[in-house]
Chains A and B, each alone.
Chain A
């Protein structure tokens, strides 16, 4: 690992100037960044640890929304009574990720900004436009079973790995950031960028911008759930995952939130499917039509073509389960 300096400031005012110069990275739990530094993929000169900034609170705001500090640990968030009660999809998504030990370390901010698990991104002997802009993409004709089918480009098909972000996307979460230019709010759905020609630029944050919190709108009345499909029962990234909230009245879909993981280059809010479902019949046929419409935009490679069928099947299964479980209650 390349040598680096380490700073642990105690207030945000000190953290931001320290975190702004080129070659500097914020450090959350380190479960992703330190791994990548060991592999030589990330080579920062300076780390600014954000776990001393008192960003670890979870509080309900007067309007009923929930403000989650950026340094809250994944396990803490998943177990929080307000989250388990009002945002079940988020709790389930978090618990489906990584392992107990990793969740104890991982922070909300770090989870938002974790990097892809495409094997070629990790292989220093391979071409990867994300790791080394302009070098090419060995995943296109290589092992791309884990890669994305939605939002892909000719230069990158790496899937976004986060489970938490899929749930946050479905929940219309808003990311609060603070940087040298002040504070701003970014809808979760606009935090991550599609790869296009610059897959190395993964999000819309500016230099030095620190994620301070994620705010969830007041709980939905709809039932919600997260389903993750993967190669082993635990401790594996999603091949496809679905975050959904569904409310049904008189056999009609009156409220729907749907987001997909494992299939997109960013956490994938399934707007097209939502549009088709809303106000329509709450039956399996409609679910399937909506799923197929969402996946119609897929661009597949030899190894990941199955993800289209898998994502469709998972969407249908999740909506079926939610409607059976008495949606609307």
Chain B
């Protein structure tokens, strides 16, 4: 049924229109309540105490001073905390196991696994008392040797075995031999630091027990992940856990799993018998929530004199923690970007005594595209070729590794549109040749790429006799506009006004929804919503046909139009209100529930023969101060092929946000982990430099708006693609401005000076 109207997306009354976010007024007027804004009678406040060593055993803890603070209810340590059940292991048979953030059984062990691990929780009558008392808890330790320094462990990294569904490895032809015989080659080593998410809303949890029933207010990207993990850790049935998350103040992957703060808020509530709120400080977020792995990459390319690539070698090193995390698919981007007869891709990783790494916007591809897209640019310099021309000379029509034909790929058009709009022909061919006063000016491009995935969802749609529609799905809203676009889709599918539709979300009591990560949510929920709407219309039609004077006698649904809040056959029709009233019904409700085993089987098959991806062309102009090396981005254009655009306003803000995050990745951001202690020493927005407004130029976002033939409504996920290619585009523009190739992010002025 998803195929019956792929183009319907662009022709709908609401779909394709830049509708303002329906939750905008609630947010701008302060009525939207976030996880730390729910009050309960007798609410207590919790604060965490963090270890100050990376690895070892706690010998003793001093809690008397903390207990003596006015208003302290409890100080929980491994000596007195009630136990949690173990985290378990990642398993393909247990979907909620993907929500395991670390394997540490907090407060049930005296072992310390990273510098900043929570070792105690203080519960008090006020947030301030809890924070102060937490600062008075001290520990003595037996120190063990700790491996915390990524750079010095790179030589010891071990090749990754393939992760199911997650490509990374490839060995096609003989890439090394082809490299050795290519007339033009580049062979570059890149490195990137750890990055952290820095969502505006720090992680917060309000936890309330009622017997063995648990209610949790939590900003999360995965309601069911939190629900499943909490059920497992606290030994209660899943249905006893209700997670509420109507608003999330940004996630970027950092809220895809429940971290220590969530577990410990629930533990503290159980131990004290009171509702507990735990709001992490910014520093607390850095210490307890993983970030994007540091990395190194080698990219070697060999090309003939015509610019055809003969060889692609792309290898990478990332890190996980001894306590968890997953290696990043850094070389995945080289599976899909350029055609070459010989391709060698290999990923390695190491374990460190740091908190687990985790998903951060476009894991793998954000880093991998920096290496690959910088290397292709450098090859263009070596060959004296235009970098867009070199890319187009190697644009594949089928997966370069898989050999499968792309069902949908419009990168050529993205570059053509972009080059025209950006004025690429104004670019001087020589490096350092464009100048504007004290600024050296450079232009750069890079390809954006994000593999599209789709999960599934359950959803109910209810049509009331007053003509209103209620859609219920436990999906997540982090500000992307998820309920807004579903409102648009349902209004079009049922032919009702936007105002008639209400989408309920952010609550595990609702039907199961896909998580908001991997750019899967919108496609996954849309597929279910479309199916449910068809089912609903069928039910309404069946009702209508039972009436003696029905205009639909003998008619089937595909013959009818849905418009003007009713069903029509030609000009003859009936409104939903009339149909329901005539049938004496106050509502009709349908549920769509996917058949999970069938869905999984289909997904496994599709991954093999129907590679899907969003792509794009990133164009930028940078200015580099000729004296000081300061780099500022002065213009940006991203032209994206993200399939059908349901809502240009919310889509653009996703893409623009990704580009801004990419500017930070390229120029200013880096998590500083002390190479001796393993401590993050810049855990604040003052010292971890995300871009400020003055760093961000006008960002022009364009789409091709071509429906993807195999996706619901033709849409491709677009939450992550925006960041991909951005660091390379900037590095390439800096190369053009200065003649310097920076291989190590971020591109701070000392590397350009």
Could you tell me the distance between the alpha carbons of A98 and B625 in the complex, rounded to whole angstroms? 22
Interface size range on B against A: 35 or more
In this complex, what residue of A is CB-closest to B54?
A125
In this complex, what residue of B is CB-closest to A227?
B628
Q: Which of A117, A122, A236, A310 contacts B689 (CB 8 A)?
A: A236
In this complex, what residue of A is CB-closest to B628?
A229
Known: A125-B52, A232-B689. A1 touches B132 (CB 8 A): yes
Interface residues of A in 126-145 (CB under 8 A from B): 126, 138, 141-143, 145
A residues near B53, Cβ cutoff 8 Å: 125
Are B749 and A229 closer than 8 Å at their CB atoms?
Answer: yes
Could you tell me the distance between the alpha carbons of A40 and B283 in the complex, rounded to whole angstroms? 13
A residues near B629, Cβ cutoff 8 Å: 310
Interface residues of B in 257-297 (CB under 8 A from A): none
Task: State the Cβ distance, B240 to closest chain A Cβ, in Å.
Answer: 37
Are B694 and A233 closer than 8 Å at their CB atoms?
Answer: yes
Task: State the Cβ distance, B53 to closest chain A Cβ, in Å.
Answer: 8
Could you tell me the distance between the alpha carbons of A230 and B601 in the complex, rounded to whole angstroms? 53
Interface residues of A in 212-267 (CB under 8 A from B): 229-236, 239-240
Is A87 in contact with chain B by the CB < 8 A criterion? no
Is A314 in contact with chain B by the CB < 8 A criterion? yes
Are B674 and A142 closer than 8 Å at their CB atoms?
Answer: yes
Could you tell me the distance between the alpha carbons of A20 and B128 in the complex, rounded to whole angstroms? 27
Interface of B is mostly: loop
Is B131 in contact with chain A by the CB < 8 A criterion? yes
B residues near A310, Cβ cutoff 8 Å: 628-629, 749-750, 753
Interface residues of B in 320-354 (CB under 8 A from A): none
Known: A124-B52, A310-B750, A314-B628. A233 touches B687 (CB 8 A): no
Task: State the Cβ distance, B665 to closest chain A Cβ, in Å.
Answer: 13
Are A313 and B753 closer than 8 Å at their CB atoms?
Answer: yes
Q: Which of A119, A314, A317 contacts B682 (CB 8 A)?
A: A119
Is B675 in contact with chain A by the CB < 8 A criterion? yes
Could you tell me the distance between the alpha carbons of A119 and B677 in the complex, rounded to whole angstroms? 14
Interface of A is mostly: loop
Are A138 and B674 closer than 8 Å at their CB atoms?
Answer: yes
- Among B689, B750, B753, find the residue whose CB has the most chain A CB atoms closer than 10 A: B750
Are B627 and A126 closer than 8 Å at their CB atoms?
Answer: no
Are B749 and A138 closer than 8 Å at their CB atoms?
Answer: no
Could you tell me the distance between the alpha carbons of A120 and B131 in the complex, rounded to whole angstroms? 21
A residues near B687, Cβ cutoff 8 Å: 117, 119, 122
In this complex, what residue of B is CB-closest to A145?
B750
| 1/0 contact string of B672-686 vs chain A (CB within 8 Å) | 101111010110101
In this complex, what residue of B is CB-closest to A311?
B628
Task: State the Cβ distance, A1 to closest chain B Cβ, in Å.
Answer: 6
Are A125 and B667 closer than 8 Å at their CB atoms?
Answer: no
Are B753 and A231 closer than 8 Å at their CB atoms?
Answer: no
Is A123 in contact with chain B by the CB < 8 A criterion? yes
B residues near A143, Cβ cutoff 8 Å: 672, 674, 681-682
Known: A1-B132, A119-B687. A142 touches B676 (CB 8 A): yes
Could you tell me the distance between the alpha carbons of A185 and B627 in the complex, rounded to whole angstroms? 39
Are A126 and B694 closer than 8 Å at their CB atoms?
Answer: no
- Among A117, A123, A126, A239, find the residue whose CB has the most chain B CB atoms closer than 10 A: A123
Are A239 and B674 closer than 8 Å at their CB atoms?
Answer: no
Are B676 and A233 closer than 8 Å at their CB atoms?
Answer: no
B residues near A233, Cβ cutoff 8 Å: 632, 692, 694-695
Task: State the Cβ distance, B662 to closest chain A Cβ, in Å.
Answer: 15
A residues near B77, Cβ cutoff 8 Å: none
Are A231 and B135 closer than 8 Å at their CB atoms?
Answer: no
| 1/0 contact string of B430-466 vs chain A (CB within 8 Å) | 0000000010000000000000000000000000000
| 1/0 contact string of A290-326 vs chain B (CB within 8 Å) | 0000000000000000100110011011000000000
Are B679 and A123 closer than 8 Å at their CB atoms?
Answer: yes
Could you tell me the distance between the alpha carbons of A229 and B667 in the complex, rounded to whole angstroms? 14
A residues near B131, Cβ cutoff 8 Å: 1
Task: State the Cβ distance, A114 to closest chain B Cβ, in Å.
Answer: 13
Q: Which of B128, B438, B675, B684 contacts A142 (CB 8 A)?
A: B675
In this complex, what residue of B is CB-closest to A233?
B694
In this complex, what residue of B is CB-closest to A125?
B52
- Among A122, A124, A143, A232, find the residue whose CB has the most chain B CB atoms closer than 10 A: A232
Q: Which of B627, B676, B694 contacts A138 (CB 8 A)?
A: B676
B residues near A239, Cβ cutoff 8 Å: 749
Could you tell me the distance between the alpha carbons of A183 and B684 in the complex, rounded to whole angstroms? 39
Are B692 and A126 closer than 8 Å at their CB atoms?
Answer: no
Is B394 in contact with chain A by the CB < 8 A criterion? no
| 1/0 contact string of A88-130 vs chain B (CB within 8 Å) | 0000000000000000000000000000010110111110000
Could you tell me the distance between the alpha carbons of A138 and B115 in the complex, rounded to whole angstroms? 16
Could you tell me the distance between the alpha carbons of A232 and B677 in the complex, rounded to whole angstroms? 28
Is B748 in contact with chain A by the CB < 8 A criterion? yes
Are A317 and B749 closer than 8 Å at their CB atoms?
Answer: no
Are A234 and B748 closer than 8 Å at their CB atoms?
Answer: no
A residues near B679, Cβ cutoff 8 Å: 123, 125-126
Are B132 and A3 closer than 8 Å at their CB atoms?
Answer: yes
B residues near A236, Cβ cutoff 8 Å: 689
| 1/0 contact string of A275-286 vs chain B (CB within 8 Å) | 000000000000
Task: State the Cβ distance, B629 to closest chain A Cβ, in Å.
Answer: 8
Are B132 and A231 closer than 8 Å at their CB atoms?
Answer: no
Are A123 and B132 closer than 8 Å at their CB atoms?
Answer: no
Known: A142-B681, A232-B667, A234-B693. A317 touches B676 (CB 8 A): no
A residues near B674, Cβ cutoff 8 Å: 123, 126, 138, 142-143
Could you tell me the distance between the alpha carbons of A148 and B750 in the complex, rounded to whole angstroms? 15
Task: State the Cβ distance, A207 to closest chain B Cβ, in Å.
Answer: 26
Is B550 in contact with chain A by the CB < 8 A criterion? no
Are B748 and A231 closer than 8 Å at their CB atoms?
Answer: yes
B residues near A138, Cβ cutoff 8 Å: 674, 676-677
Are A317 and B627 closer than 8 Å at their CB atoms?
Answer: yes
Are A119 and B753 closer than 8 Å at their CB atoms?
Answer: no
Are A123 and B681 closer than 8 Å at their CB atoms?
Answer: yes
Are A231 and B668 closer than 8 Å at their CB atoms?
Answer: yes
Task: State the Cβ distance, A299 to closest chain B Cβ, in Å.
Answer: 17
Could you tell me the distance between the alpha carbons of A230 and B632 in the complex, rounded to whole angstroms? 11
In this complex, what residue of B is CB-closest to A2?
B132
| 1/0 contact string of B611-650 vs chain A (CB within 8 Å) | 0000000000000010111101000000000000000000
Known: A125-B52, A125-B115. A235 touches B681 (CB 8 A): no
Could you tell me the distance between the alpha carbons of A3 and B135 in the complex, rounded to whole angstroms? 12
Task: State the Cβ distance, B153 to closest chain A Cβ, in Å.
Answer: 18
Q: Which of A119, A145, A313 contacts B627 (CB 8 A)?
A: A313
A residues near B668, Cβ cutoff 8 Å: 231-232
Task: State the Cβ distance, B327 to closest chain A Cβ, in Å.
Answer: 26
Is B691 in contact with chain A by the CB < 8 A criterion? yes
In this complex, what residue of B is CB-closest to A316?
B627
A residues near B675, Cβ cutoff 8 Å: 142
B residues near A229, Cβ cutoff 8 Å: 625, 628, 630, 749
Could you tell me the distance between the alpha carbons of A309 and B751 in the complex, rounded to whole angstroms? 12
Could you tell me the distance between the alpha carbons of A123 and B749 in the complex, rounded to whole angstroms? 25
B residues near A317, Cβ cutoff 8 Å: 438, 627-628
- Among B672, B677, B681, find the residue whose CB has the most chain A CB atoms closer than 10 A: B681
**Which 9 A-B residue pairings sit nearest by Cβ, starting from the closest?**
A233-B694, A306-B750, A125-B52, A317-B627, A234-B694, A119-B681, A313-B627, A229-B628, A123-B681
A selection of 7 A-B contacts at a CB cut-off of 8 Å is: A1-B128, A122-B687, A232-B692, A239-B749, A310-B629, A317-B438, A317-B628
* Further 15 A-B residue pairs, CB within 8 A, beyond A126-B674, A233-B694: A1-B131, A122-B684, A123-B674, A125-B53, A138-B677, A231-B667, A232-B689, A233-B692, A234-B695, A235-B692, A306-B750, A310-B628, A314-B627, A314-B628, A317-B628
Interface residues of A (CB under 8 A from B): 1-3, 40, 117, 119-120, 122-126, 138, 141-143, 145, 229-236, 239-240, 306, 309-310, 313-314, 316-317
Interface residues of B (CB under 8 A from A): 52-53, 115, 128, 131-132, 135, 438, 625, 627-630, 632, 667-668, 672, 674-677, 679, 681-682, 684, 686-687, 689, 691-695, 748-750, 753
